[in-house]
């Protein structure tokens, strides 16, 4: 099994920023992801999730700051071997067959693990002679993941990997990813806007919104630091940092961040991952400076 | 003792000391083989036609010599007429069909081998697939470009040798054909021109495809740019090497300077009594100069022997442009690869 405290973080951003022609996609990002984690990168569309993953895959260079990947600040041939990446649109050569696409992986990667790649394909009952162009979106996703897993990377960056998979395939592939992480200590970073698919899978969270990191850290610690409160009087939230407050009739529901004990008049519970994410996503104006303490 | 400590450390992945980088050869071949097959088919068709022209034409000329039909004076005789017609027809295959096709070949290579190569990768985003493997963008590009580039070099090289040989033995020295080396379709079909132009157009297609990142647009723009380059070079060609100047006495049979056989007349005119040289265009082309008092004719021309230096200079220019385009392609790809 892996030991997260051993060695360098898998990803470490320091003042990271990336600007496109239209403006900043990411700015002032600081976080550290220990090795061996399964990290969910969550945020609304256009938040900067894909930019962050492409920076990690070295398909983009940062405009400012840096993103250290497995301890490396730049890009080296050695780093290329150790990092796997599947882009959101799952690019594959449409005229190659499934078997030829695996051959591509074998030829281009010195650490190629054919059994893992083949296992991913076999679960989907893919015909090795089928051309990629004739496959459905879900089948192509499977081939792309087989290629990424067969590479045997230490860090696997997956941009919206499950978006076009049916629930069964999603479950199978999540199982494979979890097994990969457990067996080899692979660090997996996956972005998603389907919150339910992350529950019970990720153990680390990176919440990206409007090009900023709003939450970064161990999932359990983040959840422990928040309370979901339900009660009658919204005025007595004073000592806590209120992430979101909603009132329906005479009942107020609030998600707060607090270490202090909660007033007895509130019904208090630990939020689920979905409660937490939805509250943050619905209230983009919450002060980010205090958010970032959770990462520390 | 210390060795056991080392082995206890959970070895993640025992990296070999000399890490084998990814092998691009298979993928490059897999992606280039269709284009190379088309190129090879085209080469075979053209080579077969060239060989047919050579063997048929030389046999016909041999028959003409045997039957005393070689000199123009005999051509009106019945037996000779058929032979001359046949010889003209054979050299015509070369001058009227093969030469334009070989002249156009570099444009086709740029459009259909060069332009789609990178445009398609970037249009589909598949460059990210390859760059997510263990090869660097530079290595990928070297293999991806190198293999079809080598095929272009070999195919056009063979074609240029065959074409020059047929032109030299069966056309320019034929008793029936007149095909000076500087002709609009002759010059680009012989010597180093087919090779240099093909490599240039291929590199042009790569760079255009990389910039535009759209296959169809890149194909059309490459075709247009290659065509413009051919036209511009044709304008520049007479100035690539110093001309030979000559003066001839006035001959009542012809009104202008008569250049030697197979030479390229670049400029010509009349010498007036006071020694001034007036271009023919000013005398006959509505220039309004009275040239009735002409005492001699002058002309600037490239003799047939200038073919080799002019082709070498032109090929050198094209080679430099090719290198510049490739350097641009590599630098831009390297930047995109962060």
Structural domains in chain A, sorted by start: 11-218 (3.40.50.300), 225-294 (no CATH)
Is 60 exceeded by the pLDDT of residue A3?
no
Give chain A's mean pLDDT: 86
**Number of helices (H), then strands (E), in chain B:** 11, 4
The average pLDDT across A169-183 equals: 87
pLDDT above 90 coverage of chain A, percent: 51
> A110, B131: Cβ pair inside 8 Å?
no
From A238's Cα to the closest Cα of chain B, the distance in A is 48
Give B135's contacts in chain A (Cβ within 8 Å). 80, 108
Q: pLDDT over 90 for what percent of chain B?
A: 70
Residue A148 has pLDDT above 90, yes or no: yes
Residue B61 predicted with pLDDT over 60: yes
Do residue A59 and residue B131 have CB atoms under 8 angstroms apart?
A: yes
Positive or negative, the CA dihedral A201, A204, A210, A211 is: negative
Within 8 A of B30 by CB-CB distance, chain A residues are 96, 100, 104
Nearest CA in chain A to B126: A91
Q: What are the strands of the beta sheet with A11-20, ordered from one edge?
A: A23-33, A11-20, A64-69
CA distance A53 to chain B (A): 12
Is the ipTM here above 0.90?
Answer: no
Average pLDDT over residues B152-170: 97
Cβ contact (<8 Å) for A59 and B22? no
| Segment B255-297, tens digit of pLDDT | 788 889 999 999 998 998 888 888 888 887 666 777 878 889 9
Rounded to a whole number of angstroms, the distance from the CA of A203 to the nearest CA of chain B is 21
- On chain B, the residues whose CB falls within 8 A of the CB of A154 are 12-13
What are A's interface residues with B at a Cβ cutoff of 8 A?
3, 57-61, 75, 77-78, 80-81, 84-87, 89, 91-94, 96, 100, 103-105, 107-111, 144, 147-148, 151-152, 154, 184-185
CA distance A4 to B200: 54
Residue with tokens 């009087």: A233
**Min Cα separation B136/chain A (Å):** 7
Q: Enumerate chain B positions whose Cβ falls within 8 A of a Cβ in A.
A: 10, 12-13, 15-16, 19-27, 30-31, 124-136, 337-338
pLDDT per position as a tens digit, A177-195:
888 888 889 999 999 877 7
Distance from CA of A140 to the nearest CA of B (A): 13
Residue B19 has its nearest CB partner, among A60, A75, A78, at: A78
When pLDDT is cut at 50, 70 and 90, the band that residue A285 belongs to is low
Q: State the angle between helix axes of B137-166 and B307-336 in degrees (0 to 180), rounded to the nearest 10.
A: 160
Lowest mean pLDDT among A51-60, A129-138, A273-282: A273-282
pLDDT for residue B193 is more than 80: yes
Which of the residue ranges A24-38, A207-221, B13-27, B167-181 would you say has the lowest mean pLDDT? B13-27
Contacts for B277-282: CB closer than 8 Å, 24+ residues apart: B280/B256
**Burial track B62-86 (b if 16+ CB lie within 10 A, e otherwise):** eebeeeebbeeebbeeeebeebbeb
Give the pLDDT of residue B1.
40
Q: Report the SS3 class of residue A34.
A: coil
CB contact under 8 A, A94 and B124: yes
- Cβ–Cβ pairs < 8 A, chains A and B: 93
**Separation CA B220–CA B226 (nearest Å):** 10
Pairing of β A241-248 and β A226-231: unpaired
All residues of chain A having their beta carbon less than 8 Å from the beta carbon of residue B138 are: none
- Alpha-carbon span B274 to A106, nearest angstrom: 83
Instruction: Decide if pLDDT at A5 tops 80.
Output: no
The nearest alpha carbon in chain B to A62 belongs to: B338
| Residue linked to tokens 């040989």 | B165
Strands (E), chain B: 244-249, 264-271, 277-279, 296-302
**pTM confidence score:** 0.88
Greater model confidence, B70 or A105 = A105
Closest listed residue to residue B205, CA positions, set B31, B27, B328:
B328
Sign of CA dihedral B91, B92, B95, B99: negative
Residue B18 in this model has a pLDDT that exceeds 80: no
d(CA A34, CA A15): 18
The pLDDT of residue A238: 65
Per-residue model confidence (pLDDT) at position B17: 39
Shortest distance, CA A61 to any CA of chain B (angstroms): 5
Q: What is the pLDDT of residues A260-278, one digit of tens each?
A: 777 777 888 889 898 898 8
Interchain pair A87, B128: CB under 8 A: yes
B130 Ramachandran zone, left/alpha/beta (phi>0; psi -120 to 50): alpha
Contact B134 A184 (CB under 8 A): no
């Amino acid at each position: 099994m892996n030991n997260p405290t051993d060695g360098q973080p898998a990803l470490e951003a320091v003042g990271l920023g990336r600007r496109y022609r239209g403006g900043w996609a990411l700015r002032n990002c600081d976080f550290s992801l220990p090795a061996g984690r399964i990290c969910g990168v969550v945020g609304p569309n256009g938040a900067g999730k894909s930019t962050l993953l492409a920076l990690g895959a070295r398909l983009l260079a940062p405009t400012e700051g840096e993103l250290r990947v497995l301890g490396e600040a730049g890009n080296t041939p050695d780093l290329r071997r150790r990092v796997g990446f599947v882009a959101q649109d799952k690019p594959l050569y449409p005229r190659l067959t499934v078997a030829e696409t695996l051959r591509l992986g074998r030829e281009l990667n010195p650490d190629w693990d054919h059994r893992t790649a083949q296992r991913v394909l076999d679960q989907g009952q893919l015909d090795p002679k089928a051309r990629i162009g004739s496959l459905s979106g879900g089948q192509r996703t499977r081939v792309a993941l087989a290629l990424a897993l067969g590479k045997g990377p230490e860090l696997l960056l997956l941009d919206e990997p499950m978006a076009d998979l049916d629930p069964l395939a999603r479950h199978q592939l999540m199982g494979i990813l979890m097994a990969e992480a457990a067996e080899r200590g692979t660090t997996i970073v996956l972005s998603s806007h389907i919150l339910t698919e992350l529950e019970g899978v990720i153990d680390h969270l990176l919440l990206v919104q409007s090009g900023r990191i709003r939450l970064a850290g161990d999932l359990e610690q983040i959840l422990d630091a928040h309370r979901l409160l339900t009660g009658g009087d919204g005025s007595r939230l004073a000592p806590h940092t209120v992430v979101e407050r909603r009132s329906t009739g005479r009942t107020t529901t609030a998600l707060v961040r607090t270490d202090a004990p909660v007033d007895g008049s509130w019904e208090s519970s630990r939020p689920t991952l979905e409660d937490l994410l939805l509250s943050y996503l619905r209230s983009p104006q919450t002060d980010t400076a205090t958010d970032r303490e959770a990462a520390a | 003792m210390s060795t056991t400590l080392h082995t206890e450390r959970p070895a993640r992945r025992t990296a070999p000391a000399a890490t084998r980088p990814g092998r691009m050869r298979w993928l490059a071949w897999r992606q280039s083989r269709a284009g190379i097959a088309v190129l090879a088919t085209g080469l075979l068709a053209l080579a077969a036609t060239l060989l047919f022209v050579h063997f048929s034409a030389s046999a016909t000329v041999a028959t003409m010599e045997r039957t005393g039909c070689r000199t123009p004076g005999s051509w009106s005789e019945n037996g000779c007429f058929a032979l001359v017609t046949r010889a003209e027809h054979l050299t015509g295959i070369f001058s009227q069909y093969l030469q334009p096709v070989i002249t156009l070949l570099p444009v086709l290579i740029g459009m259909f081998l060069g332009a789609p190569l990178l445009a398609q990768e970037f249009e589909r985003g598949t460059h990210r697939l390859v760059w997510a493997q263990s090869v660097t963008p530079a290595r990928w590009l070297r293999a991806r470009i190198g293999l079809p580039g080598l095929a272009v070099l070999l195919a056009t090289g063979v074609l240029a040798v065959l074409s020059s040989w047929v032109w030299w033995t069966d056309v320019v020295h034929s008793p029936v054909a007149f095909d000076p080396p500087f002709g609009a379709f002759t010059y680009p079909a012989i010597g180093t021109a087919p090779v240099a132009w093909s490599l240039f157009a291929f590199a042009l297609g790569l760079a255009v495809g990389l910039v535009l990142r759209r296959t169809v647009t890149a194909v059309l723009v490459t075709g247009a740019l290659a065509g413009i380059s051919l036209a511009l070079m044709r304008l520049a060609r007479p100035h690539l090497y110093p001309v030979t100047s000559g003066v001839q006495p006035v001959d009542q049979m012809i009104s202008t300077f008569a250049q030697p056989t197979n030479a390229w007349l670049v400029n010509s005119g009349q010498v007036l009594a006071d020694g001034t040289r007036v271009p023919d265009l000013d005398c006959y082309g509505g220039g309004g100069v009275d040239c009735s008092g002409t005492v001699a004719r002058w002309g600037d021309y490239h003799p047939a022997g200038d073919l080799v230096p002019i082709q070498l200079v032109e090929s050198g220019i094209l080679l430099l442009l090719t290198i510049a385009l490739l350097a641009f392609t590599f630098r831009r790809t390297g930047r995109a690869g962060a």
